[in-house]
Amino acid sequence: MNTVEKSRVGNDHTAGGRTFRSQLTPLLLVTSIFLLNFTGRLIPAPLLPTIEKDLGLSHGNAGSLFLFLSMGYFLSLLGSGYISSRITHKKTIIVSAIAVGAALSFISFSRSLFAMRVSMFLLGISAGIYLPSGVTTVTSLVDPRHWGKAIAIHELAPNLSFVLTPLVAEILLHWLAWRNILFLVGIGSVITGIVFVKFGKGGNFYGEAPNFSSIQTLLKIPAFWILIFLFSLAIIGTLGIYNMLPLYLVTEHGVSQDWANTLVGISRISTLGTAFIGGWATDRLGAKTVLVSVFLVTGILTLLLGMVSTPWVAVLVFLQPMLAVCAFPAGFAALSSISTPENRNVAVSLGIPIAFVLGAGVVPTLIGVIADRGYFSWGIRLSGVLIMTGFFLSFFLKLSNER
C-alpha cells in the first residue's frame, strides 16, 4: 500500500471523533444501496411459481437458478478486493448498483432455462462485489463500540427486502408480467447507484486486494473457519429457506400463490425489529452469546416447519425468521473483530462466498431435487438439522473482544 492509500485509509477510519447519530444519514444511504442489491437477488423467489409455469421448469431446475446466482456471487466476492483496491470502496458500491440493474434487465428478456441461468449468474457477479465494500464502509463511518448498531442498521436492508419483496411482487403481478417486475427493480437499482454518486459518504479509500500474506494471516485464525460455516448456516436459515418457501407452501400445502407471498412477506415484518435487537444484544452480550442462542432456536423452528401440518405451518412461517436474522449483526461484528480495517474486506470476500454458495445455492437446489422426488418437507427438515449444528460450533469461537 502506497503513501496516498495509507493516508486515505487513515483519514477514513477516524470514526472515533464522530457521534453515532451524526452518521445515521450516510448509514441509511449505504443501506438503501444494499436494499436494492438484496431485492435484486430476492425478487425471483416470489415469482418462481409463475416463472416455472411460463418456462415449463421442474422444481429442481427452478431451484438451480439460485445455484447459478450463488456461483456468480461466489466468484464476485472472491475478486471484489481486486476491484476495491483499484477504484475505492465507494466506487465499487456504485458499480455494483448499476450492474445489478443491468443484470435484472437481462433476466427479464430471458426465454429459456439456459438464458435464465446465465443471467442469474451475471446477477450474482454484479451483486457480489458490494458486500465487502459495504461492510467496510459501514464500519469506517462509526466508532467500533457502535459496530453492532451500525451493522444492524445495514442489515435492515435484507430484512426489509424480505418483507417488501413478496408483497410488492404479488401486488405488481396483478398488473405486470414477471419480466416487467424484474426490469422495474433493475431501474430502481440504477437510480439508487446514481444518487450515491452525488450524496454518498464513506468508503473513499482503497481496499486491500487478496494477497498471500493477508490470506495466510486470516487462514491461521481458527475463528475465521468457524465463522465461514456459521455464516453458511445463517444464510440457510434466512435466504435459503426463503427462496424455496413460496414454492413449498404452494406445492406441499396447497396454498394459493398470492396468499403464500403475502404470508411470507408479512412474516418478515418482525425481523425489522429483531435484527436491530440482535445488534444491540451483540454490543451488550457479545457475538458468541448471540450466535449460540440464534442457531439453537432457529434450527428447531426450521425443523418444525418441515414437520407440522398445514393449519400450523403459518405459525412456523412467522416464528422461524424472527431470530434467524440476528445471526448477521453478530457474525459480521465477530468477523470484524478478528480482522483489521485494511484487510476486513478480504475477510468478508473470503468467508462469505463459501457461505453463500452453500446456504443460498446448494441447499435450495437440494431442496428442489428432494421435492421432485415427493419429499419437499424432508428438505426443509434437513435444513433445520444443519442449522442446529451452529449451536455446538459457536461454543468454539474465540474472539478478541468477546465479553
Average of pLDDT values for 44-72? 87
Domain annotation covers residue 229? yes
Q: Which residue has the higher pLDDT, 115 or 12?
A: 115
Domain annotation covers residue 218? yes
User: Which range is least confidently modeled, 208-222, 264-278, 364-378?
Assistant: 208-222
Instruction: Indicate whether 111 pLDDT > 60.
Output: yes
Q: What share of the chain is helix, strand, coil (3-state, %, to 5)?
A: 85, 0, 15
Task: Classify 254 as helix, strand or coil.
Answer: coil
Question: DSSP state, 268?
Answer: T
User: Which range is least confidently modeled, 85-99, 191-205, 222-236, 302-316?
Assistant: 191-205
**pLDDT tens-place string over residues 146-174:** 777 787 788 788 878 888 898 899 899 88
Contacts of 25 by beta carbon, 8 Å cutoff, 6+ apart: none
Domain annotation covers residue 13? no
Q: Give the chain's end-to-end CA distance (angstroms, integer).
A: 33
> In this predicted structure, what is the pLDDT of residue 15?
54
Average of pLDDT values for 353-379? 86
Q: Which residue has the higher pLDDT, 343 or 104?
A: 104
Domain annotation covers residue 138? yes
Instruction: Indicate whether 398 pLDDT > 50.
Output: yes
Domain annotation covers residue 118? yes
Q: Which residue has the higher pLDDT, 17 or 361?
A: 361
Domain annotation covers residue 6? no
> In this predicted structure, what is the pLDDT of residue 191?
92
Alpha-carbon torsion (256, 168, 154, 345), positive or negative:
positive
Specify the residue for cell string 440482535.
278
Cα–Cα distance measured from residue 230 to residue 390, given in angstroms and rounded to the nearest whole number: 6
> In this predicted structure, what is the pLDDT of residue 22?
67
The total number of residues shown for the chain amounts to 403
Question: DSSP state, 236?
Answer: I
Domain annotation covers residue 2? no
Number of folded domains that form the chain? 1
Domain at 125, CATH number:
1.20.1250.20
Cβ proximity of 233 and 222 under 8 Å: no
Please give the grid coordinates belonging to residue 273.
425489529
Instruction: Output the pTM of the full model.
Output: 0.70
Quick one: pLDDT band at residue 401, thresholds 50, 70, 90? Answer: low
Instruction: Indicate whether 355 pLDDT > 90.
Output: no
Average of pLDDT values for 249-253? 90
Instruction: Indicate whether 7 pLDDT > 90.
Output: no
Average of pLDDT values for 328-343? 78
Domain of residue 344 covers 20-396
Instruction: Indicate whether 360 pLDDT > 70.
Output: yes
Instruction: Indicate whether 102 pLDDT > 90.
Output: yes
> In this predicted structure, what is the pLDDT of residue 56?
85
Instruction: Indicate whether 89 pLDDT > 80.
Output: yes
Cα–Cα distance measured from residue 178 to residue 235, given in angstroms and rounded to the nearest whole number: 25
Instruction: Indicate whether 303 pLDDT > 90.
Output: yes
Domain annotation covers residue 3? no
